[in-house]
């Protein structure tokens, strides 16, 4: 695990990241591809954290590489699941994607062939107790602001840890080799608007579903400049 702030750690699961927030027990943000539960639990234990302290799972969006173990972890630790209502409706039926278009470029074709194609578009159905909407504030860690950021998926949310100055960006864009559009979007025009919407908030760190920490005094302005 990589420490991002006092309360937030990043768990690298190969091609995708999950996050754990410590406040009132543990909150897991995203869950990796199916079959990653033990890897997540071991990462927590290595840091002296007890997986059974996971009280809630917040999903940035419905894709298999983020929601892959939500049902499994929920069952094992009895956690409540949070997701935007538009993605929650599908996740409750075990559907984990809508039709998407590949972002132009060789790298994207490569990533798609290598990692995404095999992930599939279904997961174990999972009950979502907390259906999120734009501007909700989850009362944890000084307030987690929910920013509805459609485009990559209709029910995508970015999460702003207001007191920590961190944006959990999910897949609104990626930061693998520099900031770049994600490999796939349901609607890249809407996706671009969402990146700019999120970048309009104040934060100096951003973490991503794919890639590494963006740590800059003005991470928000960097994102805005890159995608304007």
Interacting residues with Zn ion (CB under 5 A): 63, 65, 171, 209
On the CB side of 13, CA atoms within 13 Å amount to 30
Closer to Zn ion at the Cβ: 30 or 164? 30
* Minimal distance, residue 194 CB to Zn ion, in Å: 13
* Minimal distance, residue 171 CB to Zn ion, in Å: 4
For residue 167, the cross-strand partners are 160, 206
Two structure tokens written together for 192: 């671009």
Two structure tokens written together for 77: 């630790």
Two structure tokens written together for 26: 């543990």
State the residue for tokens 């591809």.
Answer: 33
* Minimal distance, residue 143 CB to Zn ion, in Å: 25
Closer to Zn ion at the Cβ: 63 or 148? 63
Closer to Zn ion at the Cβ: 65 or 87? 65
Closer to Zn ion at the Cβ: 203 or 208? 208
CA distances 215 to 40, 43, 86, Å, are 24, 23, 31
Contact (CB, 8 A) for 146 and 82:
no
Return the axis-axis angle of helices 188-199 and 219-227, rounded to nearest 10°.
150
* Minimal distance, residue 218 CB to Zn ion, in Å: 25
Closer to Zn ion at the Cβ: 13 or 73? 13
* Minimal distance, residue 76 CB to Zn ion, in Å: 23
């Amino acid at each position: 695990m990589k420490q991002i702030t006092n309360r937030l750690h990043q768990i690298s699961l190969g091609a995708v990241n999950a996050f754990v927030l410590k406040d009132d027990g543990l909150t897991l943000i995203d869950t990796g591809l199916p079959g990653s539960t033990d890897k997540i639990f071991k990462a927590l234990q290595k840091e002296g954290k007890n997986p059974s302290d996971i009280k809630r799972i917040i999903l940035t969006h419905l894709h298999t590489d983020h929601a892959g173990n939500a049902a499994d972890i929920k069952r094992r630790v009895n956690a409540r699941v949070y997701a935007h209502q538009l993605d929650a409706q599908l996740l409750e039926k075990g559907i984990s994607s809508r039709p998407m278009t590949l972002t132009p470029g060789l790298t994207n074709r490569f990533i798609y062939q290598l990692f995404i194609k095999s992930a599939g578009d279904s997961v174990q159905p999972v009950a979502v107790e907390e259906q999120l909407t734009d501007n909700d504030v989850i009362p944890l860690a000084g307030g987690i602001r929910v920013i509805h950021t459609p485009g990559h998926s209709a029910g995508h949310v970015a999460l702003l840890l207001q007191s920590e100055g961190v944006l959990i960006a999910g897949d609104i864009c990626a930061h693998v080799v520099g900031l770049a559009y994600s490999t796939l979007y349901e609607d890249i025009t809407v996706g671009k608007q969402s990146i700019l919407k999120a970048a309009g908030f104040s934060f100096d760190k951003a973490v991503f579903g794919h890639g590494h920490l963006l740590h800059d005094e003005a991470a928000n302005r960097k994102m805005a400049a890159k995608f304007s």
